[in-house]
Amino acid sequence: MYKGLINRYTDFLPVSENTPQLTLNEGNTPLLYLPTLSNEWGIELYVKLEGLNPTGSFKDRGMVMAVAKAKEEGSTAIICASTGNTSAAAAAYAARAGMKCIVIIPNGKIAYGKLAQAVMYGAHIISIDGNFDHALQMVRKISETEPITLVNSVNPYRIEGQKTAAFELCEQLEAAPDVLAIPVGNAGNITAYWKGFLEYNQAKGYSLPKMHGFQAEGAAPIVNNQKVENPETIATAIRIGNPASWKQAVNAINQSDGKIDSVSDDEILEAYKLIASKEGVFAEPGSCASIAGVYKHLQNGFIKRGSKVVAILTGNGLKDPDIAIQSNQIEPILLPNDQKIVSEHLQGVVTV
């Protein structure tokens, strides 16, 4: 039986016999081939469905490790800043471990599904009149003076847990891909994947992919090599102007001979709709920066036709139902409770 990441990758993780075997059965997510887009775009395109983790995002991988280590070290409370997914994961693993959880979020800028999760898992939620970068600054300060463990990705155990996605990917594909496309916000995940690929290259001889990271145009500090004071994007998950792992992300891109680039909100929304309507895959907008990025890099030649490409879909589409409804023309049509009228309506709509 699969028993979660700490159990599965013990040899590659900083665990001892004193580390609690904490798990919600995170990890082991599907790698799915996209036949329609592969065909249309002339590449071999796969997506890793990180939205199928227990709280619906990749954050569970890092959080299981960070919370287990906090518990091992005798901590009773954790704290994080979040654009939503980190807070959902932190709250869930704290509940599981019997610890307190405090989350600080930018007021009005987190998707409703994510807020619902933090509420349900029983976190203490503080909303500030500021953005993620302000919230992160705040929790870093608080954790210096209070007996509360910081579980943002500046906590090295988060990166350790998240690197396991690269291991899984190599095993599923029985090779490393040519290109890894990944959304970039606070830049912890791109850092973690690169660490994972390097470790599996050393330990098992897998090759190394080129790392292609994608930020939203209105929140693209690494691309423009300049902090963004007021980041703005529809993809609230990656609405970040001063990423904590900035240097590590640049390092991953340079070492792998990859690229960091930005995609517009329109391009993100187009990709968001495309993978849902053509492939049956529903991922949150922030995640779809990876797909939008693959398309852009095919146009400008940064990704070659025939390449084996894996795009990371970091979070579940159900996290943000508001965007799904707002960004589509499709709406339920209200008809009377009368089969004849419904059938008549369908005559003009469905041709079999």
In one-letter notation, the amino acid at residue 339 is: Q
Nearer to ligand F0G, 227 or 345 (CB): 227
Nearest-CA neighbor of 216 among 321, 296, 158, 111? Answer: 296
CB of 52 to ligand F0G, least distance (A): 13
Residue 297 CA: distances (Å) to CA of 94, 183, 228: 40, 14, 24
The window from 77-85, 118-126, 201-209, 251-259 that contacts ligand F0G (CB under 6 A) reads 77-85
Task: Give the total of residues touching ligand F0G (CB under 6 A).
Answer: 22
CB of 192 to ligand F0G, least distance (A): 7
Q: For 4, list phi and psi in degrees, rounded to 5.
A: 90, 175
Q: Is 293 annotated as a binding residue?
A: no
Interface with ligand F0G, residue 184, by CB under 6 A: yes
* d(C-alpha 311, C-alpha 315), whole Å: 12
CB of 237 to ligand F0G, least distance (A): 3
User: What's the first-to-final CA gap in the chain, in angstroms?
Assistant: 44
Binding to ligand F0G, residues 33-62 (CB under 6 A): 57, 59
* d(C-alpha 304, C-alpha 309), whole Å: 10
Interface with ligand F0G, residue 149, by CB under 6 A: no
Interface with ligand F0G, residue 183, by CB under 6 A: yes
Interface with ligand F0G, residue 317, by CB under 6 A: no
Binding to ligand F0G, residues 245-304 (CB under 6 A): 284, 286-287
DSSP 208-239: -PEEEEEEETTB-HHHHTS--SS---S-GGG-
DSSP 332-347: PPP--S-HHHHHHHHH
The residues that touch ligand F0G, with contacts defined as CB under 6 A, are 57, 59, 82-86, 153, 183-189, 237-238, 284, 286-287, 314-315
Residues annotated within the binding site are: 85, 185-189, 314
Binding residue ranges for pyridoxal 5'-phosphate: 85, 185-189, 314
